[in-house]
A and B are shown apart, each in its own frame.
Chain A
Amino acid sequence: MEKTAFRETTSFKVIVLVVLAAAVVFAFILGNVVGTMDISVSDIVNTISGDHTGTNNKVIWNIRLPRMILAALVGINLALSGSILQGVMKNPLADPSIIGISSGAGLFGILILVVFPQWQNLVPIVAFAGAMLAAVIIYLLAWKGGIDPTRIVLSGVAVSELFGAGISAILVFYSDRVHGALTFMNGSLSSRSWGEVRTILPYTIAGLLLALIFADKLNILVLGDDTARGLGLNVELTRLGFTALAALLAASAVSVVGLLGFVGLIVPHSIRLILGNNYKIMFPATALLGAALVMLSDTFARTVLSPTEIPVGIVMAVLGVPFFLYLLRK
Chain B
Amino acid sequence: MEKTILSVRNLCAGYKNYRILDGINLDIERGKIYSIIGPNGCGKTTLIRAMSRNLRPESGEVLLDGKDIFRTNTKLVAQKMAVLCQNDTSMSDITVKTLVEYGRYAHKKWWAGSDGDDKSIVEWAIERTGMTKLQNRKINALSGGERQRARIAMAIAQKPEIMLLDEPTTYLDIAHQLEIMELVAALSREERITVVMVLHDMNHAARYSDKLVLVNNSKIHTIGTPNELIENGELENVFCVEAEILSDTEDNSPVFYAKRKKQ
Mark each residue of chain B from 104 to 136: 1 if its CB lies under 8 Å from any CB of chain A, else 0. 011000110000000000000000000011111
Residues of chain A in range 208-245 having any CB-CB distance to chain B below 8 Å: 213-214, 216, 219-220, 222-227, 229-234
Residues of chain B in range 145-172 having any CB-CB distance to chain A below 8 Å: 154-155, 158
Residues of chain A in range 75-113 having any CB-CB distance to chain B below 8 Å: none
Tell me whether A278 and B94 are in contact (CB under 8 A): yes
Q: In the complex, which residues of chain A have a beta carbon less than 8 angstroms from the beta carbon of B155?
A: 230
Set B82, B98, B132, B137: member contacting A230, Cβ < 8 A: B82
Tell me whether B79 and A232 are in contact (CB under 8 A): yes
Q: Does A277 contact B (CB under 8 A)?
A: yes
Total A-B Cβ pairs within 8 A: 84
Q: Does A38 contact B (CB under 8 A)?
A: no
Set A8, A224, A229: member contacting B74, Cβ < 8 A: A229
Q: Are A232 and B105 also in contact (CB < 8 A) when A1-B136, A226-B52 are?
A: yes
> Considering only CB atoms, which chain A residue lies closest to B101 in the complex?
A216
Tell me whether A230 and B102 are in contact (CB under 8 A): no
In the complex, which of the residues A8, A223, A225, A231 has the most CB atoms of chain B within 10 Å of its own CB atom?
A231
Taking the closest CB of chain B, its distance from the CB of A147, in whole angstroms, is 14
Tell me whether B75 and A227 are in contact (CB under 8 A): no
Q: Does A2 contact B (CB under 8 A)?
A: yes
- Report Cα–Cα, A227/B98, bound state, in Å: 14
Tell me whether B93 and A224 are in contact (CB under 8 A): no
What number of A residues sit within 8 Å (CB to CB) of B? Answer: 24
Taking the closest CB of chain A, its distance from the CB of B159, in whole angstroms, is 12
- Report Cα–Cα, A234/B81, bound state, in Å: 15
In the complex, which of the residues A223, A224, A229, A230 has the most CB atoms of chain B within 10 Å of its own CB atom?
A230
Q: Does B4 contact A (CB under 8 A)?
A: no
Residues of chain B in range 71-111 having any CB-CB distance to chain A below 8 Å: 74-79, 81-85, 87-90, 92-95, 98-99, 102-103, 105-106, 110-111
Q: Are A277 and B106 also in contact (CB < 8 A) when A2-B137, A226-B54, A232-B77 are?
A: no
Taking the closest CB of chain A, its distance from the CB of B97, in whole angstroms, is 10
Q: Does B49 contact A (CB under 8 A)?
A: yes
- Report Cα–Cα, A213/B113, bound state, in Å: 11
Taking the closest CB of chain A, its distance from the CB of B36, in whole angstroms, is 17
Tell me whether B137 and A232 are in contact (CB under 8 A): no
Q: In the complex, which residues of chain A have a beta carbon less than 8 angstroms from the beta carbon of B176?
A: none
Taking the closest CB of chain B, its distance from the CB of A95, in whole angstroms, is 19
- Report Cα–Cα, A144/B257, bound state, in Å: 45
* Interface range on chain B (Cβ under 8 Å from partner): 35 or more
> Considering only CB atoms, which chain B residue lies closest to A145 in the complex?
B56
Could you list 16 examples of A-B contacts with CB < 8 Å? Answer: A1-B132, A219-B102, A222-B92, A226-B54, A226-B87, A229-B53, A229-B54, A229-B74, A230-B84, A231-B158, A232-B74, A233-B74, A234-B75, A276-B94, A277-B92, A277-B93
Mark each residue of chain A from 62 to 86: 1 if its CB lies under 8 Å from any CB of chain B, else 0. 0000000000000000000000000
Tell me whether B106 and A223 are in contact (CB under 8 A): no
> Considering only CB atoms, which chain A residue lies closest to B157 in the complex?
A231
Q: In the complex, which residues of chain A have a beta carbon less than 8 angstroms from the beta carbon of B88?
A: 223-224, 227
Taking the closest CB of chain B, its distance from the CB of A299, in whole angstroms, is 34
Tell me whether A224 and B89 are in contact (CB under 8 A): yes
Residues of chain A in range 263-280 having any CB-CB distance to chain B below 8 Å: 276-278
Taking the closest CB of chain B, its distance from the CB of A225, in whole angstroms, is 8
Tell me whether B54 and A220 are in contact (CB under 8 A): no
- Report Cα–Cα, A149/B163, bound state, in Å: 28
Set B54, B90, B110, B111: member contacting A223, Cβ < 8 A: B90
